[in-house]
Structure 1
Amino acid sequence: MSAKKKQLLKSLLQLLAITIIGLSVLPYFIYHIWWIDIFSNFQVQYGVLLSFLILPFVFIRKWKWVFFLGIGIVFSCSQIFPLYVNTSAEARIEDVKPISMMSINLLSTNRNATAVIDYVENKNPDILVLSEFNSYWDKQLVEVLETFSYTHKVLREDNFGIGVWSKFPASMQTLYFNELELPSILLQTEGVKKSFSVIATHPFPPVGQRQFEVRNKHLTHLAAFISRENYGNVAVIGDLNTSSFSKNFQLFKEKASLKDSREGFGILPSWPANVFLLQTTLDHALVSEDVSMLRREVGEHIGSDHLPIYLEISLP
């Protein structure tokens, strides 16, 4: 390779390094602009790319660039590593009867009802949350949903229908956390030894500045509601249309005094289901600090653009 081509290749690699590190770091400091915040979702991909990109600079002994790339790798790892650290309260599975919960973004246009039914029947959760729930899904899932004694659903033919089904005695009501009046559902258990609450929610996707602000207000109002009502043991579950790596998600988690149920279990990406290399963490379950996480997993592909999530918890 000629000296000119080598210099061109080195320049391209340097430009690529600057771009990737910029996309990784910038959303942490500038998180009020929708298209910048979007890039925060892909910290895993940035970390992998930078780990490969550092190798040619090591080979050609460009140590300043190795150091620069190393800082980028450390930053990405600092966003990812906490998901592998177990901060959950101690609870041995053999000493408790876990509460199992499942959340599925069905995708309103998905027609693979058999896969959804099989997955729900196989896992048999105590509490089930379904997003993008419409009249089609209401008809298709009627038999499997009859196994739950308590239900509250809001059917919509857009992408914001939602429903909650419970095997525990519970009261449920519809709540609204944004001006678009997208429904959320509050479940509160009744007549059980250890009471708890579940808020199922599905904010608007941030596909423009206004929509981004609507989503952020939704999360802000939800966090304020949780703090004000002081439910004790509470879980927020659903497609939050933000990843664990977004500064806006982290602020929501702090304001609501909740922890990410992924902590101790890893990244567990759930979207987009069909594009593995771009997958990130849009489907969430956040729980009170004292709640013990016993299991957390993503399910099999059920025809939606989201993978289902399943978790088991124990109450203090």
Structure 2
Amino acid sequence: MRKIIFWILLIGTGIFSIMPHLLPGYWLGDIFSHFKLQYLLFLLLLLPAGLVLFRKKLVPLIPVLLLLLWNARFILPLYLEGPIQEEASGGGISILAINLLASNTNYAEALGLIAEKNPDVVILLEVSPQWEEQLEVLTVDFPFHHLLPQKNNFGIGILSKNPVKTEVSHFNRDFPPSLHSKLEIDGHLVSILATHPVPPVGQAAFELRNEQLQAIEELSATQAGNFIVVGDLNTSSYSTHFQNLLLKGELRDSRKGSGIAATWPADLPFMRTTLDHFLLKGSMKVLKRTTERDIGSDHLPIFIRLGF
């Protein structure tokens, strides 16, 4: 009976691990792609259990080892590739991105984190009319700002210490608003796209999210200088659609060398995956990248410092 349970668990983990890549056009399959770390850890538990059950015979454990390698290939590069650069002399830019959660009323936590990190730019998602009122106190330290509050979960905003030109973009489609901002830092032009595609719950929403990711790919491909995509992309790096975004948009994942940096769900650490991203193009180097403390949202904030 124990061996039957072992095979059921192994086959189930195998289906969840591989199905998203066999059926990338199916919304539920794509959701299963986001939990590679959990599959990897579960397989690491199955391995010693299998050794005991099969009396150290290796042949029955070959599928476990193959699935371990399959899931590890999505995770290990985040730790082994592209180490973070040493702190450089001269200027740079620091950005704090926060998904506030429209229903979150822990205003002091978010404001306190912004004061503590003291970034050059703050990107805010899920800006509601109530949040807009609370954020008013920040306009002294961030005199250049553009807030677009919404009564749904797709309000968005940017706060900057430096002059910034911002345009609202829907990519000529029925997408939630994105902000495309341009500013100059220490003589370097930087373009920032703050964006928040819809959660891919259901096939229609899944396809809409993918269409917005494709629109971001196309925009990124036209950017010749320093370009940053930041926001809750509602996809992890394990998804085929995210990989296409990097490849076709000529972008790189800022997490390379610093690890998974999981951000959602904030209140379930054992289930966390990474939906919040900084994607980069151009000559910028990652000097520091951190996942910040819980501020009452369902997402953890992320912070980055870039040098030129």
Q: TM-score, normalised by structure 1?
A: 0.93
Residue in structure 1 matched with residue 111 of structure 2 by the alignment: 117
Q: Within 5 A, what are the aligned runs for 1:255-266?
A: 255-266=248-259
Q: Within 5 A, what are the aligned runs for 1:230-269?
A: 230-269=223-262
Counterpart Cα distance in 2 of 1:129 and 1:108: 14
Q: Within 5 A, what are the aligned runs for 1:176-215?
A: 176-177=170-171, 179-190=173-184, 192-215=186-209
Q: Within 5 A, what are the aligned runs for 1:1-316?
A: 8-59=1-52, 60-87=55-82, 91-177=85-171, 179-190=173-184, 192-228=186-222, 230-288=223-281, 290-315=283-308
Q: Is the 8 A contact 2:227 2:282 kept in 1?
A: no
| Greater mean alpha carbon deviation, residues 282-291 or residues 121-130 | 282-291
Secondary structure of the 1:189 match is strand
Q: Is the 8 A contact 1:171 1:190 kept in 2?
A: no
Give the C-alpha shift of residue 149 in structure 1. 2.1
Counterpart Cα distance in 2 of 1:261 and 1:20: 29
Counterpart Cα distance in 2 of 1:241 and 1:116: 21
Secondary structure of the 1:93 match is coil
Give the C-alpha shift of residue 96 in structure 1. 3.2
Q: What is the total number of aligned residue pairs between the two structures?
A: 306
Give the 3 Å change call, closer, same or farther, for CA 9–130 of structure 1 in structure 2: same
Q: Deviations over 1:23-52 (max 9, x none)?
A: 112212321100000000000000000011
Counterpart Cα distance in 1 of 2:224 and 2:104: 35
Counterpart Cα distance in 2 of 1:110 and 1:308: 14
Unpaired runs of 5+ residues, structure 1, are 1-7
Q: Could you list the runs of 4 or more consecutive aligned residues of structure 1 that deviate by over 3 angstroms after TM superposition? A: none
Unpaired runs of 5+ residues, structure 2, are none
Q: Is the 8 A contact 1:152 1:173 kept in 2?
A: no
Give the C-alpha shift of residue 128 in structure 1. 0.5
Q: Is the 8 A contact 1:270 1:283 kept in 2?
A: yes
Give the 3 Å change call, closer, same or farther, for CA 282–211 of structure 1 in structure 2: same
Counterpart Cα distance in 2 of 1:86 and 1:314: 19
Q: Deviations over 1:191-229 (max 9, x none)?
A: 85111100000000000000000000000011101212x
Give the 3 Å change call, closer, same or farther, for CA 117–293 of structure 1 in structure 2: same
Counterpart Cα distance in 1 of 2:254 and 2:9: 34
Counterpart Cα distance in 2 of 1:68 and 1:178: 47
Counterpart Cα distance in 2 of 1:233 and 1:118: 29
Give the 3 Å change call, closer, same or farther, for CA 173–49 of structure 1 in structure 2: same
Q: Is the 8 A contact 1:177 1:217 kept in 2?
A: no
Q: Deviations over 1:277-315 (max 9, x none)?
A: 100000111011532111111110100000000011112
Counterpart Cα distance in 2 of 1:70 and 1:126: 46
Q: Is the 8 A contact 2:93 2:185 kept in 1?
A: no
Secondary structure of the 2:193 match is strand
Counterpart Cα distance in 1 of 2:133 and 2:210: 33
Q: Is the 8 A contact 1:178 1:214 kept in 2?
A: no
What is the aligned-residue identity percentage?
35
